[in-house]
Structure 1
């Protein structure tokens, strides 16, 4: 029986640093059911509450997102809400504000609610309504779409990648139960860590970092035309060796350190 595919949203959080564009990365806990021990961007599966949230909405309409993401309107809305929620849960950055043109200046004021949202004790939409916050979808940019290949994992995801600039005044942290450590890095440094065996990267993360490495400033990242064509690698077995095949796979495996 084929493993069902679940919708997911991932946010590539970027900022301008002294050495160029920096991206926020976290190393997932070793006991996680999916991508254990891998270095990833903040993100996760769409929650049922993302589809029913009634919070205020600023930026492109859900219909615009649905068209860009090639899904129906309810699904597009849920994917965007999941992106904002997961970013808040996993690194404390909140892409929301009291009005359509403002953003929360210090998200640590909501640390208690953040823990409850992560624990699923408080629906994210209810948190937004309780605090009169509007989701700033205009701060997100759609960037890519990767689908977990069949046969690679017990869980499969149809993941939309978004880019967002770290809001001024907010601090991304590692206060989540899903990561052992987290922090900012240039794409070049993260890729070097992968080649040297200090980080484990799945193909989508590796591909996004290679793309980021071509840009010197955040403005260049935001100006980059998104490639939203779905990418679904294929599992290939040769003898006892198992690998995934995708556009760029040869370089990915060349970069991977020898066991």
Structure 2
């Protein structure tokens, strides 16, 4: 029995603005791909998508809206045009992308100037700052100002926009970005919302998903499928992407939920 839609869809909460970053690093071609992407496994205790593999990301924090950090690269006004939102929302989304990437991987897309990058963030002082962002005792703007840094918006490439289907208790309006791992920095498993972190070639991650080894939500799986079409990080960052919002529906078949995409294809919810 097939039933499209979800009970209570008319009472669905408004999606929360959020950002996620596909963090990429170049690897030697014999590995089967010219690059890898960083994936986290969400802890089983998480309310949203427990056990699913995902990219670093999360919701916009109010201080991403209220406090403007030091900034270099395309301006919030330019990002507003790229993302199809107002300037304040665009700034908050870019801030959330940078903040969440640092919180969940230890990688900071910032530097002292337009031409410079933070070289390493693995010492105890950086770890204290990362934890302070997590417990909200420190904002991204405050962290950058204290360290004499500016957010490097030029390191982000807009990729796609996904909206959680109606009928779900937690809904997100998520902008996906791509970014290269800055030279000198290393992503690390910092725990918290994730209980595992690893680098994967996109095609290898897809194969593991098909075998049932890497559960993931459709936006992650489809993003990996898109990444697998490229052979180098530079190609990904140079891509021109359509940011038309994708808002799937839930399709129930014999009591099991699938995601029905606007193009008519269906995918397992995990």
What TM-score comes out, normalization by structure 1 length? 0.94
Counterpart of 1:80 in structure 2 is 94
User: Are positions 1:126 and 2:142 aligned together?
Assistant: yes
Counterpart of 1:221 in structure 2 is 236
Counterpart of 2:51 in structure 1 is 37
Of 165, 178, 192, 2:207 maps to 192
What SS does structure 1 have at the residue aligned with 2:102?
A: helix
Q: Which runs of 5+ in 2 are unaligned?
A: 1-10
What SS does structure 2 have at the residue aligned with 1:108?
A: coil
Shift of 1:2: 2.1
Q: Which runs of 5+ in 1 are unaligned?
A: none
Question: Distance between the aligned counterparts of 1:161 and 1:218, measured in 2?
Answer: 16
Question: Distance between the aligned counterparts of 2:182 and 2:83, measured in 1?
Answer: 24
The number of residue pairs the alignment matches comes to 254
Question: Distance between the aligned counterparts of 1:249 and 1:98, measured in 2?
Answer: 47
Q: What do you get for the CA RMSD once the two structures are aligned?
A: 1.6
Shift of 1:252: 3.7
* Contact 2:258–2:267 under 8 Å retained in 1: no
Of 81, 95, 110, 1:67 maps to 81
Shift of 1:247: 4.8
Question: Distance between the aligned counterparts of 1:242 and 1:162, measured in 2?
Answer: 27
Question: Distance between the aligned counterparts of 1:248 and 1:166, measured in 2?
Answer: 33
What SS does structure 2 have at the residue aligned with 1:79?
A: helix
Counterpart of 2:106 in structure 1 is 92
1:171-217: CA deviation from partner (whole Å, max 9, x where unpaired):
10111301101011101111111111111010100010000111111
* Contact 2:163–2:171 under 8 Å retained in 1: yes
Counterpart of 1:170 in structure 2 is 185
What TM-score comes out, normalization by structure 2 length? 0.90
Counterpart of 1:202 in structure 2 is 217
Shift of 1:54: 2.7
* Contact 1:206–1:252 under 8 Å retained in 2: no
Question: Distance between the aligned counterparts of 2:251 and 2:141, measured in 1?
Answer: 41
Question: Distance between the aligned counterparts of 2:263 and 2:36, measured in 1?
Answer: 23
Question: Distance between the aligned counterparts of 1:203 and 1:92, measured in 2?
Answer: 26
